[in-house]
Amino acid sequence: MTTDLDVLIVGAGLSGIGAAHQLQAAFPHRTYTILEARDAIGGTWDLFRYPGVRSDSDMHTLGYRFRPWTDPKAIADGSSILRYVRDTAAEAGIDRHIRFGHRVVRASWSSADARWTVSAVHDGRPVTLTARFLYLCSGYYHYDAGHAPDFPGSNDFRGTIVHPQHWPADLDHAGKRVVVIGSGATAVTLVPALAETAAHVTMLQRSPTYILALPAVDKLANRLKRVLGARRGYFLTRWKNVLLGTLIYQLSRRRPAVIKAMIRKAAIRQLPDGYDVDTHFTPRYQPWDQRLCLVPDGDLFATIRAGRATIATDEVESFTETGIALRSGASLEADVIVTATGLRLLAFGGVELAVDGRAVELPKTMAYKGMMLSGVPNFAFTIGYTNASWTLKADLVSEYVMRLLRHMDAHGYDQCAPANDDSGVTERPLLDFAAGYVLRSIDEFPRAGSRAPWQLGMSYAHDVVRLRHGRVEDPEMRFSRRPARVEADA
Ligand SMILES: Cc1cc2nc3c(=O)[nH]c(=O)nc-3n(C[C@H](O)[C@H](O)[C@H](O)COP(=O)(O)OP(=O)(O)OC[C@H]3O[C@@H](n4cnc5c(N)ncnc54)[C@H](O)[C@@H]3O)c2cc1C
């Protein structure tokens, strides 16, 4: 296998496979490799195996632009998404370019060589590759462990404690009393799935989340695909969903009271008469300050209606031998406790970056168009939207990288790096989102800026204009040739 590459991609998840697909299509003769720390394709969709694991955005926008989602279900289960990513890789022969079990630990750029030297660990041994462009598709969280608060008394509990990130394949929850701690997407997914066979499930939340029911099957999408064909039907549905999502997001930001009332009314309609909606379904924050949780066909509400699950809005005082003592003085009996307490964020898969011998301190860099870093040459990364499907942004980042590489070819450039010389640009967080898991670690990430091109783009339509059609040459992007090449030309 080549060790001096045109492009080195880190990560074989949804983003890495999509990036490789676009790279192959744009430059069939370029050399590239994907280094993947795990032994499988799929990232998130291979790692998470808890009961009911599924997308919480529709697959017409979580799917790739270049490959229609053809499954009739728009909110898909984890295994279907994993199959989709793997099929994409296999059909395009991308799987032959992946080196599994290679954890990238360091990448150093040399301006003299216009090359990255990338160090990985494979089977405990160091492996080194060089590449002209480094493209990180390493996701945004720690794979080793999720966020697990240290609950007092957890050693006393005689039942089983599990974290959704490491669901034991042999855990049998049938007939058991289960308490799920959390109120995010994972908790609301787990509750109805566990309740199918558990004796009872309690979702213990410190504070509520906005929850909205959505049909799992998008009938219009399926009709469009039947009438117009898979590709055109997919294209139209993708835009329909983008526009609908944008409308809800914009209304949430501009007229939060309207959206709050709408979500509350929808919840009341789905819950039993006299249910305490204000305590259990009315968050303290505004819609879209944190991610809105979608529940397919209102499955969570149906489970509550059927008496198979209960919500407790309270706080853990301590774990006990038989369950959880709550701050209110009440207690919950449990055989299994699921700590759906979230992820631990990790910037760039923990890869340490250096440029010409100097370590890159991520919080001192600024993200250019949400996909490159100030002062870091020939480098791009993928972090998806927080208010829309991840892949919408991942696809656009890949398109932009291809345009950038083509532009460099056309002009004989070896290197491109964004630079921020404008002292009027003030710093903003890279993920402008009030969720606990973001607030815990966002300081370790690069910053975004107060104005373009450093501003965090949270609108797909705007990014289509900017990343797909906008000029690649701009005052903040510095293109140059390798010093040796400049001398030779002279
Ligand atoms: C449970 C769950 C549900 C989600 N549901 C949705 C949803 O419905 N909609 C949505 O838009 N988003 C969702 N997300 C966000 C989700 O992570 C993205 O949608 C998407 O899967 C991210 O793909 P990715 O390839 O960028 O990252 P990942 O899926 O995280 O894949 C990254 C890959 O990079 C590898 N890697 C990381 N570091 C290194 C390293 N140093 N060296 C080598 N390899 C490395 C990892 O092993 C992994 O295979 C969800 C996330 C979770 C955790």
Q: Please say whether the beta carbons of 36 and 100 come within 8 A.
A: yes
State the greatest distance between any 2 C-alpha atoms of the chain, in Å, as a whole number.
82
For a ligand 1 pocket test, name from 390, 395, 396 the mutation site with the most ligand atoms within 8 angstroms of its C-beta: 390
- Closest Cα to atom 5 of ligand 1: 55
Q: Are strands 323-326 and 316-319 parallel, antiparallel or unpaired?
A: antiparallel
Q: Are strands 352-355 and 358-359 parallel, antiparallel or unpaired?
A: antiparallel
- Quick one: pLDDT at residue 241? 95
Ligand 1 atom with the shortest distance to the CA of 189: 1
Nearest-CA neighbor of 34 among 141, 170, 134? 134
Partners of 102 in the beta sheet? 122
Ligand 1 atom with the shortest distance to the CA of 53: 1
DSSP-assigned letter for residue 366: B
What Cα–Cα distance (Å) separates residue 239 from each residue in 166, 246, 247, 292?
35, 10, 12, 20
Q: Please say whether the beta carbons of 41 and 12 come within 8 A.
A: yes
Gyration radius of the chain over CA positions: 24
Spacing, Cα 139 to ligand 1 middle (Å): 4
Sign of the CA dihedral 321, 322, 324, 325? negative
Spacing, Cα 363 to ligand 1 middle (Å): 22
Ligand 1 atom with the shortest distance to the CA of 389: 11
Spacing, Cα 183 to ligand 1 middle (Å): 20
pLDDT digits (tens, 9 = 90+) for 161-206: 999 999 999 999 999 999 999 999 999 999 999 999 999 999 999 9
What Cα–Cα distance (Å) separates residue 231 from each residue in 138, 241, 389, 391?
29, 15, 19, 17
Nearest-CA neighbor of 399 among 469, 326, 297? 469
- Quick one: pLDDT at residue 1? 54
Ligand 1 atom with the shortest distance to the CA of 120: 42
- Quick one: pLDDT at residue 378? 98
- Quick one: pLDDT at residue 2? 56
Nearest-CA neighbor of 310 among 264, 360, 275? 275
CA dist., res. 471 & res. 36, Å (int): 32
Ligand 1 atom with the shortest distance to the CA of 14: 25
CA dist., res. 438 & res. 442, Å (int): 6
DSSP secondary structure string, 380-443? EE----SSS-HHHHHHHHHHHHHHHHHHHHHHT--EEEE----TTPPEEESS----HHHHHHGG
| Stretches in the chain below the pLDDT threshold 70 | 1-2
Nearest-CA neighbor of 182 among 442, 451, 436? 436
Task: Say how far residue 402 (Cα) sits from the centre of its chain.
Answer: 22
What residues contact 410, with CB distance under 8 A and at least 6 apart? Answer: none
Residue found by looking up tokens 């710093």 in the block: 427
Q: How far apart are the first and last CA of the chain?
A: 36
- Quick one: pLDDT at residue 191? 98
Interior/surface letters 122-161, b for 16+ CB within 10 angstroms, e for the rest: eeeeebebbbbbbbbbbbbbbbeebbeeebeebeebebbb
Which residues have any ligand 1 atom within 6 Å of their CB?
Answer: 10-16, 35-38, 43-44, 48, 55-57, 62, 103-104, 137-139, 143, 186, 349-351, 382, 384, 389-390
Spacing, Cα 42 to ligand 1 middle (Å): 8
Partners of 437 in the beta sheet? none
- Closest Cα to atom 53 of ligand 1: 44
Spacing, Cα 160 to ligand 1 middle (Å): 27
- Quick one: pLDDT at residue 350? 96
Helices (H), 200-255: 219-228, 230-254
For a ligand 1 pocket test, name from 123, 138, 294, 344 the mutation site with the most ligand atoms within 8 angstroms of its C-beta: 138
Ligand 1 atom with the shortest distance to the CA of 61: 11
Spacing, Cα 347 to ligand 1 middle (Å): 12
* Entry field: residues in the chain: 490
Q: Please say whether the beta carbons of 216 and 74 come within 8 A.
A: yes
Taking residue 2's Cβ as centre, other Cβ atoms within 10 Å add up to: 11
DSSP secondary structure string, 272-316? PTT--HHHHS--SS-BTTBPPEEEETTHHHHHHHTTSEEEEE--E
**Which pTM value belongs to this model?**
0.95
For a ligand 1 pocket test, name from 8, 41, 44 the mutation site with the most ligand atoms within 8 angstroms of its C-beta: 44
Q: Are strands 102-110 and 352-355 parallel, antiparallel or unpaired?
A: parallel
- Closest Cα to atom 30 of ligand 1: 139
- Closest Cα to atom 4 of ligand 1: 55
Burial of 460 (0-12, 13-18, 19+ CB in 10 A): buried
- What three-state secondary structure class fits 256? helix
Spacing, Cα 239 to ligand 1 middle (Å): 23
Interior/surface letters 397-426, b for 16+ CB within 10 angstroms, e for the rest: bbbbbbbbbebbeeeebbbbbbebeeeebe
Spacing, Cα 48 to ligand 1 middle (Å): 10
